[in-house]
Amino acid sequence: MSNYDSTQHVKGSSLFVDDVTAPEGLLYAAILTSPEAHGNILNIDFTEAEKAEGVKGIFSAKDIPGDNQIGGIILDEPLFAEDKVDFIGQPVAIVVAENQLTAKEAVKKIKLNIEKLPAVFDAREAFAKNELIIPPRTFTLGDVENTWNRCDIIVEHRVESGGQEHLYLETQGSLAHPTEGGGIKIISSTQSPTAAQKITARVLGLPMHKVEVDVTRLGGGFGGKEDQATAYAVMCALASFKLKRPVKLILSRQEDLRITGKRHPYSSDFKIGLSSDGKILAYEVTFYQNAGAAADLSPAILERTLCHCTNSYFIPNVKATGISCRTNLPPNTAFRGFGGPQGMFVLESAIYRAAEKMGIDPSVIQEKNLLNEEDEFPYGQKVQNCNIRRCWNQTKDQFIYDEIKSKVVAFNNSNKLYKKGVALMPITFGISFTSTFLNQANALVHVYTDGSVSVSTAAIEMGQGVNEKMRNIAASVFSVNIDRIKVNSTNTSRNANTSPTAASSGADMNGKATEIACNNILERLLETAAKELKSPGTSIKILNEKIYVDGTETDLTWTKLVQAAYFSRVNLSSHAHYSTPDIYFDKTINKGKPFAYHVFGVSIIETTLDCIRGTYEIDSVKVVHDFGKSLNQLIDRGQAEGAIVQGIGWMTMEELLYNDDGKLLTDTLSTYKVPDIFFAPKEILVHFLEDAPNPNAVFNSKAIGEPPFMYGIGSYFSLMNAMKAFRNNNHYKFISPLTNERVLVSLYAETKE
């Protein structure tokens, strides 16, 4: 069991956009972006840049043949700024030259005269100025207003969570070249080839059939290329279309860090009410989402925040309001978890605060309120096949939580300057795009006459192993050796009208489509076999490339059968479409059944804090996770481990800092720190919940991409517990990331409450 890309990756022979063999006449592009966060463009002077030797063309808003509009959900984002700029890094023009250095030098020669306007970077400030992306949305269940008077304990607090840089290894980039008859072909590092196709067509004023987008693989996406890869594909296409030459645009790491959107920072207020025995009776929360300067995917992300605001718990009375605030930052975008982590962090903070007030361990409240079968979420769906209590109990038993806990207490009793903390973090994550129409996928499968198989789907390989999973599925349906299966690049001419590979549902949905397509061909092959073997009415099966009649092996093999089918003029190809059944969501009342199913799991996170330095280590992360019946245990374990470390990074060390003008200060990897192997948990134990087949996804599996990210939230509370063991200072809460600096300052800050 392996991921078939790994060998190529290790040898360096995998092709990313910048590795594609340069086509004849390739030109290189660089972009001019706004140096101001908000302002009016008074004048742009290209003269000096145009005169520079080797410059082939400069294109800006005025050169766009179609619409200067790349907005996905809302049409509020120009490809190139026209008369005003709304964030630092907003593209203004693209310069094309014979080589990259010339293009970059020419960009510096453009004179851009901007009249500065006041800028807003804070979500609450934007809200006060009524700068909203969409009207506020409220999800309700029960009646919070009439519940507060029944509560024994009520606590309120503010919670802040920071943004997060995706840091995919391959920066944003694209290569475009003209095709016969005035068309264009784009090679892009995108999670959404169809979006790149559609928006290129819109900007160039072409029918979609003249735009072909091809994606071999991404050096990581993590949501950062669900919406934001489009702009670079379109710019490249525009330049190539104009110059009738191939054009390549690859962002440098620093450009990518500066100009692309990130995970949304949220600022939230909660009020939670409980009975004296720890039952949560009411929860009211308001989320201020910092959307940045354009909508991008913010409305959909906010929707998922609202959906996941009660995490793994049943709360009978909920009022959750989401406010998407327009600021002068680069538009923030999808990032693993898609708003879910931000929502869950607030509730976990609320539970922590309530537990403090009640003088009990937060896990008492967590356990008491875990979901039971058929409990209702604020979005109207009832939880089914609910495994959260199984995961909880098994986590506590398997890893002997009580022992961990008593060891932590013993350690803290015998150490003055080092303190340990431990926290439990349950997760429940809904699988499906909350926009129901996106829950569709398709696959095109060909069986060639030598018995080899080619699979093309809408799924984008970005390191998550979806291609290997498609191979597993095809090999399993046909019962042939996996080496026979090749997964092709994702191409809009083979797979049309595709949804982004996102929402953790890439393998789920494209896997189903692949299964259906393979079964279509299998059915025809079995008919052929019955004829060949002159045994109609018997049970014919393929097992490990051999054909069996009523359980008896025959001389017929996979390859011979495929050839026989070909000579009998049997169709050896199939195109199949899959749409997730029985889901719907009414956005006017915020009720429905948006998710095909939920993913469950529970983690224990142990940390050790150096109370003199404020530094800390993540000792261990121990998890029981519901993978369903895993399609590929190696890949799924890798997904869980990677997501956990990324989630811990978000909560602890990853900090985006800006100056007063909105300029990102942490725009290098020496200033924006992400977990490395030294910071990674000393131990990550991921246990697969047994006997948990999922009837709602392909081969009883479950989606894995995003859910384990949220285990990382436990690291925050684990560290809080370690801090409290040193000094019970109410200054601590609830601001993430909990950097070393923040820990140190709050450990020694004056206490006031």
Binding residues for ligand MOS, per CB under 6 A?
Answer: 191, 221, 223, 226, 334-336, 338, 502-503, 706
CB of 241 or CB of 433, closer to ligand HPA: 433
CA distance 623 to 600: 11
CA distance 708 to 696: 19
Q: Which stretch binds ligand MTE (CB under 6 A): 155-163, 216-224, 713-721, 736-744?
A: 216-224
CB of 229 or CB of 624, closer to ligand MTE: 229
CA distance 650 to 264: 11
Q: How far is CA 161 from CA 254, 288, 343, 593, in A?
A: 24, 11, 10, 28
**CB of 133 vs ligand MOS, minimal distance in Å:** 18
The H-or-E segment that residue 560 falls in is helix 558-567
CB of 33 or CB of 190, closer to ligand MOS: 190
CB of 435 or CB of 739, closer to ligand MTE: 435
**CB of 259 vs ligand MOS, minimal distance in Å:** 19
**CB of 349 vs ligand HPA, minimal distance in Å:** 23
Catalog residues that contact ligand HPA under the rule CB under 6 A: 226, 297, 300, 304, 334, 338, 433-435, 438, 502-503
Q: Which of residues 274-293 bind ligand MTE (CB under 6 A)?
A: none
Interface pattern 221-240 for ligand MTE (x via CB under 6 A): xxx-----------------
Q: Which stretch binds ligand MTE (CB under 6 A): 31-39, 399-407, 505-513, 682-690?
A: 505-513
Closest Cα partner for 630 from 472, 479, 477, 482?
472
Q: Which of residues 694-753 bind ligand MTE (CB under 6 A)?
A: 703, 705-706
Residue 336 binds ligand MTE, judged by CB under 6 A: yes
Residue 463 binds ligand MTE, judged by CB under 6 A: yes
Verify whether residue 160 is a known catalytic residue.
no
Question: Are 174 and 213 contacting, i.e. CB atoms less than 8 angstroms apart?
Answer: no
The distance in angstroms from the start CA to the end CA of the chain is 55
Total residues contacting ligand MTE by CB under 6 A comes to 21
Residue 631 binds ligand MTE, judged by CB under 6 A: no
Question: Are 22 and 82 contacting, i.e. CB atoms less than 8 angstroms apart?
Answer: no
CA distance 85 to 72: 19
**CB of 232 vs ligand MOS, minimal distance in Å:** 17
**CB of 466 vs ligand MOS, minimal distance in Å:** 12
CB of 300 or CB of 611, closer to ligand HPA: 300
Residue 432 binds ligand MTE, judged by CB under 6 A: no
Q: Give the chain's largest Cα–Cα span.
A: 88
**CB of 638 vs ligand MOS, minimal distance in Å:** 16
CA distance 691 to 402: 25
User: From the candidates 160, 367, 376, 706, which is the catalytic residue?
Assistant: 706
**CB of 218 vs ligand MTE, minimal distance in Å:** 6
CA distance 595 to 593: 6
CB of 392 or CB of 429, closer to ligand MOS: 429
CA distance 582 to 436: 10
CA distance 436 to 171: 30
Closest Cα partner for 565 from 443, 447, 445?
447
CB of 185 or CB of 591, closer to ligand HPA: 591
CA distance 540 to 131: 65
Residue 60 binds ligand MTE, judged by CB under 6 A: no
What number of CA atoms fall less than 13 Å from residue 298's CA on the CB side? Answer: 36
CB of 438 or CB of 561, closer to ligand HPA: 438
β-bridge pairing 440-447 and 173-179:
unpaired
Residue 504 binds ligand MTE, judged by CB under 6 A: yes
588: left (phi over 0), alpha (psi -120 to 50) or beta: alpha
Closest Cα partner for 348 from 417, 245, 424?
424
Cis amide leading into 737 (omega within 30): yes
Binds 435: which of ligand HPA, ligand MTE, ligand MOS, none (CB < 5-8 Å by kind): ligand HPA
Residue 3 binds ligand MTE, judged by CB under 6 A: no
Amino acid at 407: K
Report phi then psi at 671, rounded to 5. -115, -25
Interface residue with ligand MTE, options 64, 187, 466, 743 (CB under 6 A): 466
Residue 505 binds ligand MTE, judged by CB under 6 A: yes
Which DSSP string corresponds to 221-245?
-TTTTTSTTHHHHHHHHHHHHHHTS
**CB of 696 vs ligand MOS, minimal distance in Å:** 18
**CB of 463 vs ligand MTE, minimal distance in Å:** 3
CB of 132 or CB of 634, closer to ligand MTE: 634
Residue 91 binds ligand MTE, judged by CB under 6 A: no
Interface residue with ligand MTE, options 41, 282, 502, 576 (CB under 6 A): 502
CA distance 60 to 586: 40
Beta strands in 34-152 (DSSP E): 39-45, 55-60, 84-85, 91-97, 111-116, 137-141
Question: Under the rule (CB under 6 A), what is the footprint of ligand MTE?
Answer: 220-223, 336, 462-464, 466, 501-507, 639, 642, 703, 705-706
Active site residues: 706
